[in-house]
A and B are shown apart, each in its own frame.
Chain A
Amino acid sequence: MNRLVITGGTLLDQHGEHPGDVAIEDGRITAVGEIATTGSDTLLDAAGCIVAPGFVDLHVHLREPGKEEAETIETGSRAAALGGFTAVVAMPNTDPAQDSVAVVEFVRAQGKRAGLCEVLPAGCITIGRAGERLAPFGELSAAGVHLFTDDGSGVQDPQLMRSALEYAGPLGIVLAQHCEVTSLTKGAVMHEGSCCSRLGLPGWPSIAEELMVFRDIELVRLTGVPMHFLHLSTARSVQLVRQAKAEGLAITAEAAPHHFTLTDEQLSGFDPLFKVNPPLRTRADIDAIKAGLADGTIDAIATDHAPHAPHTKEAPLDQAPPGMLGLETALGLAISELDMPLAAIVAALSWQPAAIAGVADRHGRPIVVGEPANLTVFDPAQEWTVVPAHLASKSRNTPYAGRTLRGKVRHTVFGGVAVVVDSTATR
């Protein structure tokens, strides 16, 4: 097989930033620095680009099995690769749910078949995500599952959550919570505040998230077992996590790009494209999420990529499902909207989530000889406009149609294979 050489870029990893070429053979990095290329090399031009460890998305909904009309593991993987991700954590709210070895093996196998990125199935915390009985953590963990969540719902019962943490402890797995006290969000469509009051829509109050963040911080304190908070959306949640981390508790957190770019005012036109769970909140919340990313309170940018077939979003707000596409716009939104050094943005997209996902042995690695070749090459200055029809996802529910973003993935190398070349998927 030909040698693959990424030429003329700036290498950026956890050890710093410097110009250099990268040579790849048999899935591994074989040379770094100034590389004399030969006619038989396959070259990837990285002039003006950053070459970074591949991105890891802790939070995607690939919809397979169960809702293949919205997304398949293949189409979602393609969207991931185009967004610079070499690994994605597939949320377990599939049908059937990812609460058995059979289902997680299927998801992983479909990911391998697509061959565009590593698909890491998350396990459920409870059987069928019903919040009643624990899923088989041990069996699933033995099958390679590292992150467990009932995402889409939070675990409501504090006794069950306590038990889940205690049981999980010796397995070395991570439980991830969708923080929402559902008795406070009955029928909720959007953030509870002045906008929902004017529009006559049931509100999703910030405190419904914050109460569960607080409860689970205390459960981590009690059990000593680590936890990850999914898609934090409120200023107070960020503050609670900041304080818990300062106290040394084993807590990590993620935020989604839409929660640092869009506010509840977007719902004024009743467009279900802007309906998401947790909901878009206020300018003050956006500022707090950004501050949390900047000071490391929030470890990871995770997209909560949630495809929905077009007809399902053509319903009144209260009937349309929540969720929006995220994989292909995450990097551009982060570079355009976050006032953070590029290295910090890459950290939040790459090695920090890789550690949480339990794949730090193969993703988000330093760019040095011998490491697995999972790399993202992006142009941080390239401006591009989001056109829904051009997205690789099977669905079209991006809230950013027509928005011009700065920062675009040019090439993605997964397992030594150039799966995206010149912003086009090769498979």
Chain B
Amino acid sequence: MKHLLSIEDLSADEIHHLLELTDHMAEVSSRPIPKVPALRGKNVVSLFFEDSTRTRTSFDTAAKRLSADTMNFAVSSSSVNKGESLRDTIETISAMGVDAFVIRHKSSGAPQMITRWTNAAIVNAGDGWHQHPTQALLDCYTIRTGLNRRDGFDGLHIAIVGDIKHSRVARSDVQAFAALGASITLVAPPTLLPPSLEGWPADVSHDLDALLPDLDVLYLLRVQRERMDDALLPSLHEYSAMYGLTAQRAARLAPHALLMHPGPMNRGVEMVVDPGEVPGSVILNQVTNGVAVRMAVLFWLLGSGSDLKGEA
């Protein structure tokens, strides 16, 4: 069974293939009736052990546009709260007949572990600090369309700014952007970087201002309040002063540069400027593209043949 657990598992060719497939899905999504029968009869179950609005809704919409049956398993109202083990939860739902699980879990590696207990395809919708592969794919697709770079990201300079250490988005994006040929700079205070960057295809900077004019993409990450409790940051105010995107900083971006954020944004922290006033902001495009990318991923894992043409 094919899974999507980590960007690491994908070759550059596979990433390109998924992005091309996303083009088809974007076309489907633009139809008056944005629905095809590609996954009719397939059962896609969303299992979110951690809160998420946009990712869950995005997967749900994607599955429905492909005519899959969908089931949302809300963990808070489930038997997990009665102490049922992860394995029993998976085996029980699997027994109902599941073709794919979309898994969000606060523990790194949980989706990989779940592959032991089911024959269904597993889509990692975010695990701990580890991976969020569909986010990386939608980010790639957004850059690909936003900068018209269908053939790859050679020569692009992308800065990822913020809490890299605790970010599954950063881990996935670095691997995906690098696979497509971009050069990447991670920008954060040392306390918000992973303990080792050995093997990461990225440079590090602590000086956002020096980088700004040179960037093709500025990718901001959410910075959470709890980082101050762990003595990783003195204050959000200080973070904002050193690494936040103010109007002054935004004005120094190149005219073609894209501004991205995986959401949810912390206004006034990493995002001081109103992104609506930044011409290169593609933050809402990311959300739109998320649906098409997840359609592509579900079709790639579960689809067969070329039944994208028909209508549901």
Contact = CB atoms under 8 A, between A and B. Distances in A.
Contacts of A319: 107
Nearest to B194: A197
A244 interface: no
Given A200-B171, A314-B86, A194 B198 contact: yes
A201 B129 CA distance: 7
B64 interface: no
A199 B85 contact: no
B309 interface: no
B195 A205 contact: yes
A317 B196 contact: no
Contact of B108 (A194, A201, A315): A201
A314 B127 CA distance: 17
A193 B197 CA distance: 9
A200 B128 contact: yes
A315 B108 CA distance: 11
Contacts of A193: 195-196, 198
B212 interface: no
Given A314-B87, A316-B86, A194 B196 contact: yes
B199 interface: yes
B110 A201 contact: no
Interface in B185-222: 194-200
A113 interface: no
Given A315-B85, A316-B86, A317-B107, A200 B195 contact: no
A318 B85 contact: no
A199 B109 contact: yes
Nearest to B175: A198
A244 to B, nearest CB: 28
A427 B269 CA distance: 67
Interface string B123-157: 00001111100000000000000000000000000
Interface string B84-126: 0111000000000000000001011110110000000000000
Contacts of A315: 85-86, 113
A108 B17 CA distance: 65
Contacts, number: 69
Most buried by A among B86, B87, B196: B196
A269 B9 CA distance: 12
A206 to B, nearest CB: 11
Contacts of B87: 311, 314
Nearest to A272: B113
Contact of A318 (B128, B194, B196, B198): B128
Contacts of B127: 200
A196 interface: yes
B108 A199 contact: yes
Given A198-B199, A270-B112, A316-B109, A311 B85 contact: yes
A201 B168 CA distance: 10
Interface in A194-218: 194, 196-201, 203, 205
A192 B195 contact: yes
Contact of B196 (A197, A201, A311, A314): A197
B226 to A, nearest CB: 12
A203 to B, nearest CB: 5
Most buried by A among B107, B108, B109: B109
A201 B199 CA distance: 16
B107 A196 contact: no
A317 B129 CA distance: 13
Contacts of A203: 195
Contacts of A200: 108, 127-131, 168, 171
A317 B108 CA distance: 7
A100 to B, nearest CB: 31
Contacts of A192: 195-196
A194 B198 CA distance: 6
A193 B199 CA distance: 11
A205 B196 CA distance: 11
A270 B199 contact: no
B49 to A, nearest CB: 9
B112 A269 contact: yes
Nearest to B166: A200
A196 B87 CA distance: 24
A201 B195 CA distance: 11
Nearest to A318: B107
Nearest to B128: A200
Contact of B107 (A197, A198, A316): A316
Nearest to B8: A198
Interface of A: 192-194, 196-201, 203, 205, 269-270, 311, 314-319
12 contacts: A193-B195, A197-B195, A198-B199, A200-B127, A200-B129, A200-B130, A311-B87, A315-B86, A316-B86, A316-B108, A317-B107, A317-B109
